[in-house]
Amino acid sequence: MKSLLALTSLALYLASARGQAAVWQQYYSQCIPGTATSAPATAPPVTSAPSTVSSSAAPSGTSTPPAGTGTLKFAGINISGFDFGCNTDGTCTASAAWPPLTQYYGADGAGQMNHFVTDDGFNIFRLPVGWQFLTNDVLGGTLDEANFEEYDALVQACIASGAAACIVDVHNYARWNGEIIGQGGPTNEQFADLWTSIATKYAGNEKIIFGVMNEPHDIPDINLWAQSVQAAVTAIRNAGATSQLILLPGNNYTSAETFVSNGSGPALLTVTNPDGTTTNLIFDVHKYLDSDNSGTHADCVTNNIDDAWSPLADWLRSNSRQALNTETGGGNTASCAEFLCEQIVFQQQNSDVFLGYVGWAAGNFDPSYVLGETPTASGSTWTDTSLVAACLAPK
């Protein structure tokens, strides 16, 4: 029941700055491949109170209001495009990455983020990117200067938007071309080298959050995975990024429902900063609301409270830890408006352990994408999808 990136057949042909003749639009699913539906129906606004976020949110601390205050630290949207070409086996075709920036013939990701901050009150964006794109397909290599310049342009647009936080997310499912990090694939040293290179670039910016890895899955040994995560954390801190948040993902597509039961939470409790503390080490969890929790259907059937969020909140509280929900969402339908609003209200009520949520996804996704949260622009006016307007936007 979780998240995964399965490439499907929605193709959007467009010439790019690299001279590509075509760029493939992707559908994203979670743990069970599904079939995308046609453009979802528009849902009317619901009366559930929209989420509220702290106007003074800053990623350098972990203190949040006590449970029940209804104030989340973060609310935001994924800005997708640099992850295009990535699949759940960790194969990421570098040439298929499509920067969601107009200067690279993509969507106006900068304009989207400016709108989301100014008009909606969002304050965090997740910026997924494939490992192969960052190093131009060289495992263990340094950051490719030209490719990183493109990705950094999106990061800088996020910073300039006025958002409180920008998540640098490596979107490889704990793999490189089918092989698992630290378990037969890239070594922990190679993984650490990647994060040393990235963290060195952003060590001086408190708005950066480091997303160690998107949605690990089918990991044979969760304790070995915790060692890989530890290698990344140590590399980030030793590169000079000593105070920013770092997100720690678990197995099973880092499902909020199974984070504790599959051993991910207990194993990741052992991950520490070099000084032995766990300050600003935040658990990274995902959860969708459709029938198979895959994020491939327009309709939602659950708010996930009893099966996922309530048990996880209890566990986090008992261990004095916090989590950030970096992927969630649904179709632009009445059922998703109902259930997602309920899920967010529960997270608000437990804001001592949940820092917030990040919806999936805008950026280069076409409006017909089943989980599309991409706003449309008419001149200087932006219009949100119905689900963003009804539930996700904190206003």
Using 50, 70 and 90 to split pLDDT, how confident is the model at 107?
Answer: very high
Q: Lowest mean pLDDT of 51-60, 66-75, 208-217, 293-302, name the range.
A: 51-60
Which region among 36-45, 73-82, 317-326 has the lowest average model confidence (pLDDT)?
Answer: 36-45
Average pLDDT score over residue span 349-364:
98
pLDDT band at 69 (very low <50, low <70, confident <90, very high): low
Mean pLDDT of 377-381: 96
DSSP 80-111: ESTTTTB-TTS-B-GGG---SSGGGTS--HHH
Q: Identify whether 149 is a catalytic site residue.
A: no
Chain centroid to CA 345: how far?
20
pLDDT in tens, 187-208: 999 999 999 999 999 999 999 9
Whole-number average pLDDT of the chain: 87
Structure tokens at 110: 């900068």
pLDDT tops 50 at residue 169: yes
Collapsing DSSP states into helix, strand and coil, what is residue 190? helix
Query: Is residue 83 pLDDT above 80, yes or no?
Result: yes
pLDDT band at 6 (very low <50, low <70, confident <90, very high): very low
Q: Quick one: pLDDT at residue 70? A: 77
CA dihedral 358, 363, 368, 372 (to 10 degrees): 10
| The predicted structure's pLDDT at residue 320 | 99
Q: Is pLDDT at 101 greater than 90 in this prediction?
A: yes
- Single pTM value for the model: 0.88
Residue 357 main-chain phi, psi, to 5 deg? -145, 155
From CA 144, how far away is CA 157, in angstroms rounded?
20
- Reply yes or no on whether the pLDDT at 217 is more than 90: yes
Check pLDDT > 60 for residue 67: no
Domain ranges of the chain: 3-392
Q: Is pLDDT above 80 for 20?
A: no
Catalytic residue at 327?
A: yes
Q: Choose, from 150, 327, 338, 373, the residue flagged as catalytic.
A: 327
Q: What tens digit of pLDDT does each residue of 235-268 get?
A: 999 999 999 999 999 999 999 999 999 999 999 9
Task: Report the pLDDT value the prediction gives residue 54, as an integer from 0 to 100.
Answer: 55
What pLDDT is recorded for position 53? 61
Region 141-163: what's the mean pLDDT? 98
Using one digit for the tens of pLDDT, what is the confidence trace for 26-56? 334 333 333 232 233 223 222 233 445 654 3
Q: Residue 331 in contact with residue 38, Cβ under 8 Å?
A: no
Give 180's pLDDT tier (boundaries 50, 70, 90): very high
- Could you say which of 145, 179, 206, 215 is catalytic? 215
Over residues 284-314, the pLDDT tens digits come to 999 999 999 899 999 999 999 999 999 999 9
**Predicted local confidence at residue 52, as pLDDT:** 53
Q: What are phi and psi of 90, to 5 degrees?
A: 80, 10
Between 1 and 275, the more confident residue is 275
Burial 224-242 (b: 16+ CB within 10 A, else e): bbbbbbbbbbbbbbbbebb
Give the pLDDT score at 367. 82
The SS3 of residue 37 is coil
State how far the Cα of 24 lies from the Cα of 45, in Å rounded to an integer. 32
DSSP line for 223-261: HHHHHHHHHHHHHHHHTT--SS-EEEE-HHHHBTTTTTT
Question: What pLDDT shows up at residue 244?
Answer: 99
Q: Which two tokens stand for residue 211?
A: 């997303």
In whole angstroms, give the CA distance from residue 384 to residue 228.
39
CATH of 3-392, one of 1.10.10.2840, 3.30.70.260, 3.90.550.10, 3.20.20.80: 3.20.20.80
Mean pLDDT of 348-359: 98
Does residue 160 register a pLDDT over 90? yes
